[in-house]
Homo-oligomer: A and B are copies of this chain.
Amino acid sequence: MPAARKDAFSPEEQQLAALARALSHPARIAILRELAQHNTCICGEIVSALPLSQSTVSQHLHVLLEAGLIQGTVDGPRSCYCLNTSAINAFGSALGDFFQTLGNQQCC
């Protein structure tokens, strides 16, 4: 990627792509599932639930945070993450809209 060409696309396309990228690793799918299973916030049990090292899980959590899909209250040693349901629902409907504009085609 000798030059970042992403800025040559529309904001909508960039946003949709950025959110899809946040979901583009099975570990992050698994983290979201894990957070959804515990309806209360979770801390480091995520690490035990995943086949990855602590630092790697922390990286994936950071990606999900940056994308806005989860929230985290970093209170000292015991940080606590949870789903950002409003962002998740917004993303879900944005994706739904996108798929709807695609799905009604008759082609080939």
Contact = CB atoms under 8 A, between A and B. Distances in A.
Interface of A: 5-6, 8-10, 13-14, 16-18, 20-21, 23-30, 32-33, 35-36, 39-41, 51-52, 71, 73, 80, 82-83, 85, 88-89, 91-92, 95-96, 98-108
Contact of A5 (B17, B24, B52, B104): B52
A88 B101 contact: no
A41 B71 contact: no
A107 B51 contact: no
A51 B13 CA distance: 13
A104 B92 CA distance: 12
Contacts of A24: 17-18, 20-21, 24
Contacts of A103: 85, 88-89, 92
The number of times this chain is found in the oligomer is 2
A7 to B, nearest CB: 9
A16 to B, nearest CB: 5
B99 A41 contact: no
